[in-house]
Amino acid sequence: MTLVDFFSPPRLGTAANLDSAVWPGDARYDVDGRIVVGDVALADIADTYGTAVRVLDEREVRQRCRAYRKTFPEFEIGYAAAALPIGAVADLVTGEGLALVVCSSDGLATALTAGVDPKRIILHGTGLSRDTLQAAVTRGVGRIVLGSPAEIDLLATVATRPQRVLLRVSPGIEQDLPRQAIGFPLDEVAAAVARVLGAPLLELIGFHCHLGSQIYNPDHYGEAIRRLVAEMAQVRREHDRILTDLDLGGGHAVAYRSGDAEMNLPELSAITEDALDAACARQHFPRPNVALEPGRGIVARAGVTLYRVLSVKQNDGGHASVVIDSAARGRTGDCAGMVVANRRATGPQLSATVAGRAGDVILATDVRLPADLRAGELLAVPCTGAYQPGATRPPVIAVRDGHYTQLVAREPNLLDRDAS
């Protein structure tokens, strides 16, 4: 604490009731009872930019980058930009020492336009066009991850200079089935390796896997390491070639509501370190360079989405139907953790069903909201920084140290036009 802090009465209130598992670390109530993030009252953002609006706490993003780097000092951390594909965020996280993981031509363009060093970009080749792959090679993208024979062949034909590549492997422990469609199952890895090694300009440096999303059991990553190091040792036996890189993808769970399970990063670190030591010792294989690709884990908790209450209808039995000005076609549960943001409500609560303004889109059931909630009040949903439906529709406003700036402008939608 500085002298200035010591002699000034604190203007801001305590963080009581705002669970730091789901809210940015600096979120709190001010003396007027309004929720403040990045030292900016959310109500001021709503007044300035209208609602719906998404607030992104810059400090929280930086803190998450630093937490990952500190917890995994030996690993490379790449931000999976699909979680929140904004150039300014790419710039911010790379400034914090992270690499950037992109998986679309738009993602690649955003990263390059934001000035990210191409060598620090990991590009996933699935579904990419010849032009995008060609641009990636020409611009010097550091690593390209290939997940099918067709991708290998396409990159081999467009490469005009040596390109470092990883093969995406499905080690058989993926947590959500559809993803198994991407990548080489273990029994197809040998053929994929031979295919890449047969392409003169493709330099195979390692394997990649992505186990799914919202994984909170770190043991899955330990098992992935055991299986993939065994595959790397097999490549050495067959081709007398040592692969140096092992990318374990993302998928680390975050808590969306108080009490939700989340990935314990120190535990993940301990388990992956032990698995690496054991697997490398067992295979007499040199320790590879390991990368992680968190997306949600970096940005989810930094985002808070604000909505205005359009109407409140009290039903029988202490239940209410609340309509908010969300145009997103979300999923039920998207707004589960919402709270009133313009005042600190301490009185009786009721159970509410919350619907978007299209009426038929239920965003949450059984949300605890103040019994005296009125139209015009402001609601905030924490942990909405990643993979939001219509993520680029509402404006995105970054907040830091009492200042705010618009990162993404509002996109008009059909409902807005109908209303005007």
Ligand X SMILES: Cc1ncc(COP(=O)(O)O)c(C=O)c1O
Binding to ligand X in span 198-217, by CB under 6 A:
210, 213
Binder to ligand X among 22, 88, 101, 235 (CB under 6 A)?
101
Binder to ligand X among 120, 124, 143, 195 (CB under 6 A)?
124
Residue span binding ligand X (CB under 6 A) among the ranges 8-16, 247-255, 270-278, 373-381: 247-255
Q: First-to-last CA distance in the chain?
A: 51
Binding to ligand X in span 40-69, by CB under 6 A:
none
Give counts: helices (H), strands (E), the chain.
12, 21
- Please compute Rg for the chain using Cα positions: 24
Taking alpha carbons only, the member of 250, 291, 34 closest to residue 143 is 291
**Is residue 297 part of the contact set for ligand X (CB under 6 A)?**
yes
Binder to ligand X among 57, 293, 325, 334 (CB under 6 A)?
293
Cα–Cα distance between 301 and 211 in angstroms, integer? 21
Cα–Cα distance between 36 and 110 in angstroms, integer? 30
Query: Closer to ligand X at the Cβ: 24 or 356?
Result: 24
Cβ 390 to ligand X, closest distance in Å? 18
Residue span binding ligand X (CB under 6 A) among the ranges 249-257, 303-311, 319-327, 355-363: 249-257
Binder to ligand X among 125, 171, 206, 250 (CB under 6 A)?
250
Cβ 81 to ligand X, closest distance in Å? 9
**Is residue 193 part of the contact set for ligand X (CB under 6 A)?**
no
Q: What is the amino acid identity at position 198? A: G
Residue 160, judged by CB atoms within 10 A of its CB (0-12, 13-18, 19+), counts as exposed
**Is residue 385 part of the contact set for ligand X (CB under 6 A)?**
no
Cα–Cα distance between 216 and 255 in angstroms, integer? 10
Cβ 175 to ligand X, closest distance in Å? 10
Q: Give the binding-site size for ligand X (rule: CB under 6 A).
A: 16
**Is residue 147 part of the contact set for ligand X (CB under 6 A)?**
no
Query: Closer to ligand X at the Cβ: 44 or 219?
Result: 219
Cβ 82 to ligand X, closest distance in Å? 6
Binder to ligand X among 107, 147, 249, 337 (CB under 6 A)?
249
Taking alpha carbons only, the member of 102, 101, 40 closest to residue 291 is 101
Q: What is the amino acid identity at position 237? A: R
Query: Closer to ligand X at the Cβ: 142 or 294?
Result: 294
Taking alpha carbons only, the member of 218, 105, 252, 101 closest to residue 166 is 101
Q: Provide the token pair at 117.
A: 């060093």
Cα–Cα distance between 101 and 291 in angstroms, integer? 11
Q: For strand 303-315 and strand 378-381, is the pairing parallel, antiparallel, or unpaired?
A: antiparallel
**Is residue 107 part of the contact set for ligand X (CB under 6 A)?**
no
Backbone torsions φ then ψ of 133, nearest 5 degrees: -65, -40
Residue found under tokens 């032990």? 274
Q: Provide the token pair at 406.
A: 């618009």
Residue span binding ligand X (CB under 6 A) among the ranges 32-40, 248-256, 261-269, 389-397: 248-256
Binder to ligand X among 54, 195, 296, 393 (CB under 6 A)?
296
Binder to ligand X among 251, 288, 330, 370 (CB under 6 A)?
251
Taking alpha carbons only, the member of 108, 105, 202 closest to residue 159 is 202
Binding to ligand X in span 324-363, by CB under 6 A:
none
Q: Provide the token pair at 147.
A: 């997940």
Taking alpha carbons only, the member of 116, 107, 121 closest to residue 166 is 121
Binding to ligand X in span 68-87, by CB under 6 A:
80, 82-83
Cβ 111 to ligand X, closest distance in Å? 14
Query: Closer to ligand X at the Cβ: 292 or 322?
Result: 292
Cβ 292 to ligand X, closest distance in Å? 9
Q: For strand 143-146 and strand 121-124, is the pairing parallel, antiparallel, or unpaired?
A: parallel
Binder to ligand X among 294, 303, 356, 382 (CB under 6 A)?
294
Query: Closer to ligand X at the Cβ: 24 or 295?
Result: 295
Binding-site ranges for ligand X (CB under 6 A): 80, 82-83, 101, 124, 210, 213, 249-252, 293-297
